[in-house]
Amino acid sequence: MKRVIVMGASSGIGREVCLMMLERGWQVGIAARRKDMLDGIRQAYPDQVKTRLIDVTAEDAPALLAGLIKELGGVDVYLHASGFGKQNYNLDTDIERHTVAVNCDGFAALIGSVFHYMNANDGGHIVSVSSIAGTKGLGIAPSYSATKAFQSTYIQALEQLSNMRGSKVRFTDIRPGFVDTPFLADAGRFPMLMDVSKVAKDIMDAIDNQSHVKVIDWRYRILVFFWKLIPRWLWVRL
């Protein structure tokens, strides 16, 4: 029986994956900022769920996460699905700074905390939900695309560090395209919008297979392939 922690389990991708893990009978620690959403999951699965209110940008976030790990009795899989992003044509400073705080500062603090724990406790599996937006700099969402590139590079670097240390910590970088979740509810219409349950299933497959990188889905794999072929001088003019 696996012990799993899902950071950002209150809605969207994190919630959907959490429910699939619970259906498998896993013990799941769930964390987010919204108490009502966490309580709803715990009430539905009282024998499998432990909860913590955690704001990833708060100074006490790593300590609260450590407490959740202890209450769960350890952690085999850590899924970081917490994130923030908005379209920002006007380059609003508050949006940019908050995006960096959540997707970089909070991300690095909690991923690093879990890495230290797993490295000292016979390994584990760290899974990060980044985005295809990290593939190229997107003018409509500068900080979002930049922070998602940071996340993918950070996970790659920690995987190399783990190998250098001879550690048993494994990593998976999940890179979805546009997903039909509340995250995009107020952002207008998007092409190739994916069903969240299908995305969650693909994430579960990536966890089972211990994939290093998983772009979801096949349409976005084709899109990213061609994105990478576009030279910088042309990309910035599109």
CA 186 to chain centre: 21
Measure the CA–CA gap between 238 and 236, rounded to whole angstroms.
Answer: 6
Q: What residue type is 138 in one-letter code? A: L
**3-state SS record for 2-20:** CEEEEECCCCHHHHHHHHH
Distances (CA, A) of 154 to 77, 109, 151, 207, 229: 18, 11, 5, 18, 23
Report the alpha-carbon distance of residue 98 to residue 105 in Å, rounded: 10
Report in angstroms the alpha-carbon separations of 39 from 44, 46, 51. Answer: 9, 10, 8
Q: How many CB atoms lie within 10 A of CB 103?
A: 26
Known catalytic membership, residue 144: yes
Preceding amide of 36 cis, omega within 30: no
| Active-site residue (options: 45, 78, 144, 220) | 144
Q: Report helix, strand and coil shares of the chain as percent, to nearest 5.
A: 50, 15, 30
- Which amino acids are annotated catalytic? 144
